[in-house]
Chain A
Amino acid sequence: MNRFFRRRESNNPEPGKVGNDQESGNNNQPLIQIKDVVKAYQTPVGEFIALRGINLEIGRGEFVAVVGKSGSGKSTLINMITGIDRPTSGEIFVANTPIHTLAEGPMAEWRGRNIGIIFQFFQLLPMLSCIENVMLPMDFCNMFKASEREERALHLLEQVDMVEHAYKLPSEVSGGQQQRVAIARALSNDPPLLVADEPTGNLDSRTAEAVFQLFARMVDAGKTILMVTHDDEMAHQVRRTITIADGQIVDQQYHASHPDYPADGNGNHASVKTQEENPEGASDPAVVTA
């Protein structure tokens, strides 16, 4: 079943395209590297600093949750990684691409090929059917042969159990089903990284659980997933949870599924030092506290 979660050969290969774990042969490098990222906004009442010197590394195949209160900076962090927003200072590398240097145009194409984004409100284009929504990224990024795109979209929809609704408009299916289609769309160009901004925030718990399971399967298939969530339970089911408060990473927790999980024999998770405590390397899992 993971066949379609893996990248297929593009008919128009792009040098900037990031390979997945199996193909890149560069597994030692983290997929995401964030160095001293600061983001400040000018507001009518003065400067607002959304991110205060973030340092973070995320390895390939990781399933990471970003948690924090509303306004803590988690969505800003996600936007930095997806290139939707630019840092005021600092550097961001995704698969060795310095995305903070990319112009808007190349950024869009790079993002289309390398990152699948899943939004809280699904954000399917309402005038296109589910399958057309899934085919759209392939169309924009000229990925896969035109004749193959529909078949691929159907298979992706099949993976998310939406194949029978393929030709319906988004308005004709439920919220949970729309999110499944949005996930299929995110996988459309077979990107190594999926970024989800509160993907279950608008779903009931049963549907949310189903979506989460879908994510887990994708991680198993080699995808890296970075997910913003408010759901504590869900945040604990991933391998790593990053907590953000006031624009800083205040806590990182590795859970049982993490390969570097420091076993304490009781099955309890371990916390990584915060940036303040460990300015040398916030994501260094070797430095842990009980």
Chain B
Amino acid sequence: MRFLAPRWRKVVRDLWSNKTRTLLVLLSIAVGVSAIGMVMGSQIMVAQNLPAAYAAINPSSSMLFTLETFTDDMVESIRSMPEVEDATGLRTTNVRFLTASGEWRNLQLIAVPDYEEIRINKITPQIGTYPPGEREFLLERASLSPVLGMEGVEIGDTLTMEAPNGKIRELKLTGTVHDMSQLPAFIAGAGYGYVTFETLEWLGEPRNYNQVSLVVSENKFDYDHITEVAKKVENRMEGGGVEVLFALVLEPGKHPAQTFLDGFALILGAIGGLSLVLSSFLIVNTLSAILTQHVRQIGIMKSIGARSGQITAMYYVMVLFFGIMALFISVPLGALGAVGLANVFAGLLNFDVGSARIEPQVLLVQVVISLIAPILAATLPIIRGVRITVREAISEHGLGKGQFGKSFVDRVIIMLRNVLPIGRPMQISLRNTFRRKSRLTLTLITLSLASTIFIAIFSIRDSLQQTLNDALAFFDYDVQVVFDQPYRTERIQNRLESIPGIDAVETWGFSSTRRVRDNGTESDSITVYAPRYDSSMLAPILVEGRWLLPNDANAVVINTDVLADEEDISVGSTVTFKINNKETEWVVVGVIRGVLTGPIVFVNFDYLARLTNSVDRAVVSLVRLEDRSSANQLALGQLIEQSYRDSGFRVMQMSTIDQLRTTISTIFDVIIVFLLSMALLLGIVGGLGLMGTMSINVLERTREIGVMRAVGASDGSILRIILVEGMIIGLLSWTIGGIVAIPASQILTEVVGMALLQSAPSYIFSTQGAIMWLGIVLILAFLASFVPARNASRLTVREVLSYE
């Protein structure tokens, strides 16, 4: 170090001799900069990988699902349309497989005509053999998960499967593939298997298609154009006698989950930015403390010829050092966090992001932030500290700094002793808390923000949970069985009469529709439910108007999700719906709240049956059980399904409300765990801030502590006074944070709700979260003040009174 001038040696030694403080500042900066690196890095990784990977599969512009099957001739006919560049037929079939634990779980089998010639929605072989042979199947890689019943399943294993027709067959798993066009299996609640048409025939299913995927030849990224082409294809298919259930047109060129990711990234960016702001507060506090401690040294340096500029430069260099060192921590930490976060997204949406790497633009932002933010934060404390005159600096005598007793707050605190039975040590703690008001303010802002975010995140969790409960309460049944084709309602209901433990069975009509707007354009697909007028399995929350009456004919009740897309509709409006290719007019009589279901309209069962020529027939059987526990739902659900199958029903899917709840909860939990980890990050920043503040407070009052000792204060008393001060700050931050959380939680819940659900969720304030944070903040406050308190209690009178 001899090459350094003495003043720079001083800077180095100041940093080195206060390792804890140096570390505290480094961590303060590093937390914020790492958070920014993590959020930005993950966004870039996702942005670089997802669109490219999605484009590489040549995603379909539209997919049309049909009720009847069709042959290669129809596919050829579609392919020959000038608007269509390419089209391919597929068949998807829902089967059940037997898990290791003896439970039947659902699996969607996709039959592809030629695995070597997939041109649309390409799949990529992962492990094992490709393509699947006869009586073999491949699994989508994300389907090989214990959550989906695949626990212990390995490549080479044979699984027992049951086809919709009831045939039981043994299929060998020979490998996995990656299929980005499918909704991630854990979100869908069932895995995806890939077989040949030969295997499908062996399962007893027809060799024809029930789905067509197409790519338009022009304007590939024009949603309206694609919708128009899909409409033409639909017309051609229906002209050829193939009824189209619905046509799916997703936002072109974008992975279906991109919107969800964008919303999520926005929230993460906000939290990252917030941690940076809080870090800056910590830097302000810590540097103010360093400069307070160095006042005398600054005076001495000035007295031996140092100019303010030289001293300022010394402290800026110190701050720069903090920034540079923090950068060394933040860059790898941020990159690791970024890859971790990107992998969470990738895992959720089933794509690859590659290994951890440092993105130049992220690095640049981190460099700028870690150097600029501390300098900006440090400027005021440095200017204040350096401006002190030599006389002020070297004539500091007496007891600790920090005025108390002049302000209104101080007077209120002094008056408290007349109102509350507060002991002397407690009074000291209380008054000490308010001595350094600007420092207290910054600490409180940091901790209070952490409180607000924590409580808000818990409120988001509870609100999402509440939204889910509302959604599930909306449909008041336990087991839902969906058939492959309509059956007579009497047959559906009678089949279950012999099964004990069933409270009620209902059969609903089910269809899909599109609104035909006044200008001739059509809306996205809307689900039509047609419950019986006396249905006891519906608990709609009316927002406006009324529910359906038994005599209503063309009356319709819409949910708020319909209004989100079709803003011009209101109660009393007459709207045109196209059901089974027939346009009919309906009168909107009520609006109900949407609950995670997407756009739904409700019409009377009988009227829909007449319109669709399916009087007294249904495709859905809804069952409410006497014992509504999740175990009974599963047990009876399987029994009901088996009973239908035994009677020759083609069951497409059986699901229980509990399974639905678990699937949705899993998605919510991933998000909540993630948001909570961000709240924890803010908690750490807050804790660091409090620790810094308490250390500074104790250091400043060293002489005062000596005086208290000299007049008889024990180790315990000193320890208590400081610990209580920390706890008071914690408690104050909790109170302020909690109050701010009341409106903030609602706003954040709406933002997150809109990002995740595209609708405002049911809002509840989480008192549980508030109570939990109280516990955490008190523990944090205790830990943050314990070390300074213990150090202070160990000082001897001689040490502190001779403290210079």
Contacts and interface: CB of A to CB of B under 8 A. Distances in A.
Contacts of B13: 127-128
B307 interface: yes
Given A136-B7, A139-B7, A117 B301 contact: no
B6 A128 contact: yes
Contact of A132 (B9, B304, B305, B389): B9
Interface string B303-320: 111111110000000000
Given A84-B394, A119-B394, A123-B394, A112 B14 contact: no
A185 B804 CA distance: 19
Contacts of A125: 10, 297, 300-301
A269 interface: no
A214 interface: no
A15 to B, nearest CB: 16
Contact of B6 (A79, A108, A119, A132): A132
A105 B804 CA distance: 26
Contacts of B2: 150
Contact of A137 (B14, B304, B804): B304
Nearest to B11: A127
B302 A127 contact: no
B296 interface: yes
A109 B307 contact: yes
A49 interface: no
Interface string A224-244: 000000000000000000000
A55 interface: no
A84 B305 contact: no
Contacts of A133: 6
Given A79-B391, A84-B391, A127 B14 contact: yes
B5 A108 contact: no
B438 interface: no
B17 interface: yes
Contact of A121 (B6, B9, B307, B804): B804
A112 B391 contact: no
Contacts of B308: 104-105, 108
B304 A136 contact: yes
A117 B305 CA distance: 10
**What is the interface of chain A mostly: helix, strand, loop, or mixed?**
helix
Contacts of B302: 108, 111
Given A119-B394, A121-B804, A128 B305 contact: no
B389 A140 contact: no
A123 B300 contact: yes
Given A119-B394, A125-B300, A137 B10 contact: no
A60 interface: no
B390 interface: yes
A253 B164 CA distance: 121
Contacts of A146: 5
A141 B2 CA distance: 19
Nearest to A133: B6
Contacts of A109: 305, 307
A24 B803 CA distance: 43
Contacts of B389: 84-85, 104
Given A123-B296, A132-B6, A112 B390 contact: no
Interface residues of A, number: 32
B6 A117 contact: no
Given A125-B300, A128-B6, A136-B7, A108 B391 contact: no
A133 B300 CA distance: 11
Contacts of B296: 123
Contacts of B5: 135, 139, 146
Given A104-B389, A121-B804, A125-B297, A112 B10 contact: no
Contacts of A112: 304-306
A100 interface: no
**What is the interface of chain B mostly: helix, strand, loop, or mixed?**
helix
A85 B299 CA distance: 12
A136 B6 contact: yes
A16 to B, nearest CB: 12
B6 A135 contact: yes
B508 to A, nearest CB: 81
Contact of B305 (A79, A111, A121): A111
Nearest to A131: B6
Contacts of B390: 82, 84, 108
Contacts of A111: 302-305
A108 B305 contact: yes
A141 B307 CA distance: 9
A6 interface: no
Contacts of B305: 108-109, 111-113, 137, 140-141, 189
Interface bracket on B = 20 to 34
B303 A82 contact: yes
A111 to B, nearest CB: 6
B303 A117 contact: yes
Contacts of B309: 105
Interface centre among B14, B301, B305, B309 (most CB of A within 10 A): B305
A133 B695 CA distance: 28
Contacts of A117: 303-304
Contact of A84 (B17, B297, B303): B303
Interface string B483-504: 0000000000000000000000
B391 A85 contact: yes
A108 B296 CA distance: 15
A111 B303 CA distance: 7
Interface centre among A111, A132, A141, A150 (most CB of B within 10 A): A132
Interface centre among A111, A123, A150 (most CB of B within 10 A): A123
Interface in B264-307: 296-297, 300-307
A51 B2 CA distance: 46
Contacts of A85: 389, 391
Contacts of B310: 140
A49 to B, nearest CB: 16
B19 to A, nearest CB: 13
B303 A140 contact: no
Nearest to A197: B394
B315 to A, nearest CB: 14
Nearest to B294: A125
Contacts of B391: 79, 84-85
Interface string A143-159: 00010001000000000
Nearest to A141: B305
A264 B556 CA distance: 127
B694 to A, nearest CB: 23
A82 B394 CA distance: 13
A113 B2 CA distance: 24
A132 B13 CA distance: 12
A113 to B, nearest CB: 6
A136 B301 contact: yes
A125 to B, nearest CB: 6
B535 to A, nearest CB: 81
Interface centre among A108, A133, A186 (most CB of B within 10 A): A108
A80 B678 CA distance: 57
B17 to A, nearest CB: 5
Interface string A53-97: 000000000000000000000000001001011000000000000
A260 to B, nearest CB: 32
Contacts of A136: 6-7, 10, 301, 304
Given A84-B391, A84-B394, A132-B9, A127 B17 contact: yes
B395 to A, nearest CB: 8
Contacts of A123: 296, 300, 303, 394
A127 B310 CA distance: 18
13 contacts: A84-B389, A104-B308, A108-B305, A108-B390, A111-B304, A117-B303, A125-B301, A127-B17, A128-B9, A128-B13, A132-B6, A136-B10, A136-B301
* 7 shortest interchain CB distances as A-B pairs: A112-B305, A127-B13, A140-B306, A137-B304, A141-B305, A84-B390, A132-B6
Given A104-B389, A123-B300, A136-B301, 6 more contacts: A84-B394, A108-B390, A125-B10, A133-B6, A137-B304, A186-B304
